[in-house]
């Protein structure tokens, strides 16, 4: 018998947590192993439990979801954290993604969509509520450089050129190690490079960096 997927919900509204717990309870292969009402409670909780997946609210007292996500992933980099959001909180989503969240869902997500999303997350893939994804599409459609390189990726590229390690880039830009690695992988793919050396040669030719 396969072990159940262990899930934690972090949200400061008890009614929402209970409703979410009821939905998780309808999935035979999933188990809600803990709840927390703020980021600090969550950090204390994961010291005692080993969740496979965490659903994280953004705006909470004591410690918000962004800081909690950063702290948790520094200690448990393999942990999968998903941001929970309401309409009107889109401005916080970029920070959650840079902290290392693997996706974001609206709090009123339907059971069917939640089940699909969880399976994708567990397979190492990303999933975003379509309504929130459209916000990012509109926001960043004009925030691109040559070869579809984003401004954040260019910041990472410049620090790589200076010889910064992943940890130093993480500390300098206030993003998670996972996000740094993701940007570097994306840069290599977008530029058709084989490795970091190829990427730096490409960037020099394109005058994206100076050494």
In a domain, 210, yes or no: no
End position of a domain, from candidates 86, 119, 140: 140
Q: 114 with 73, same domain?
A: yes
Q: 200 with 165, same domain?
A: yes
End position of a domain, from candidates 140, 159, 174: 140
In a domain, 155, yes or no: yes
pLDDT at 108 over 50: yes
Q: 150 with 132, same domain?
A: no
- 86: containing domain: 5-140
pLDDT at 112 over 50: yes
- Report residue 162's pLDDT band, with 50, 70 and 90 as the boundaries: confident
Q: 27 with 106, same domain?
A: yes
CA distance 40 to 30: 24
The per-residue pLDDT for range 164-188, each reduced to its tens digit, is 888 999 999 988 889 999 999 999 8
In a domain, 43, yes or no: yes
Q: 25 with 115, same domain?
A: yes
Find the range with the poorest average confidence among 14-23, 54-63, 68-77, 159-168.
159-168
Mean pLDDT of 70-89: 89
The count of structural domains within the chain is 2
pLDDT at 126 over 60: yes
Task: Give the pLDDT confidence score for residue 88 in this predicted structure.
Answer: 63
Distance between first and last Cα of the chain: 56
Q: 19 with 100, same domain?
A: yes
Give yes or no for a contact between 187 and 206, defined as CB atoms under 8 angstroms apart: no
Is the pTM value of this prediction over 0.75?
A: no
Q: 16 with 39, same domain?
A: yes
In a domain, 64, yes or no: yes
Report how far apart, in Å, the C-alpha atoms of 174 and of each of 45, 99, 155, 182 are.
Answer: 24, 8, 12, 14
Q: 68 with 154, same domain?
A: no
In a domain, 38, yes or no: yes
Q: 133 with 151, same domain?
A: no
Q: What is the DSSP string of 11-60?
A: -S-HHHHHHHHHHHTT-TTEEEEEEESSHHHHHHHHTT---SEEEEESS-
Q: 22 with 126, same domain?
A: yes
SS3 annotation, 153-188:
HHHHHHHHHCCCCHHHHHHHHCCCHHHHHHHHHHHH
In a domain, 29, yes or no: yes
Q: 193 with 89, same domain?
A: no
Mean pLDDT of 121-143: 66
pLDDT at 141 over 50: no
Q: 159 with 135, same domain?
A: no
In a domain, 211, yes or no: no
Task: Give the pLDDT confidence score for residue 87 in this predicted structure.
Answer: 67
CATH code assigned at 200: 1.10.10.10
CA distance 141 to 138: 5
């Amino acid at each position: 018998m396969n072990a159940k997927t262990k899930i934690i919900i972090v949200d400061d509204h008890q009614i929402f947590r209970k409703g979410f717990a009821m939905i998780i309870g309808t999935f035979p292969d999933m188990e809600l192993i803990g709840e927390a009402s703020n980021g600090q409670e969550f950090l204390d909780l994961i010291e005692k439990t080993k969740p496979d997946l965490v659903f994280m609210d953004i705006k909470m007292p004591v410690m918000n979801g962004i800081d909690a996500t950063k702290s948790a992933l520094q200690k448990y980099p393999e942990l999968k954290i998903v941001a929970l959001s309401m309409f009107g909180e889109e401005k916080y989503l970029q920070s959650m993604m840079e902290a290392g969240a693997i996706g974001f869902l609206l709090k009123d997500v339907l059971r069917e969509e939640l089940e699909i999303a969880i399976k994708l997350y567990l397979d190492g893939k990303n999933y975003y509520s379509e309504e929130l994804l459209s916000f990012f599409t509109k926001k960043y459609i004009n925030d691109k450089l040559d070869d579809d390189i984003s401004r954040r990726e260019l910041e990472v590229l410049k620090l790589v050129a200076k010889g910064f390690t992943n940890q130093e880039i993480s500390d300098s830009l206030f993003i998670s190690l996972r996000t740094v690695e993701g940007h570097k992988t994306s840069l290599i793919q977008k530029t058709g490079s084989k490795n970091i050396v190829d990427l730096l040669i490409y960037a020099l030719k394109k005058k994206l960096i100076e050494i």
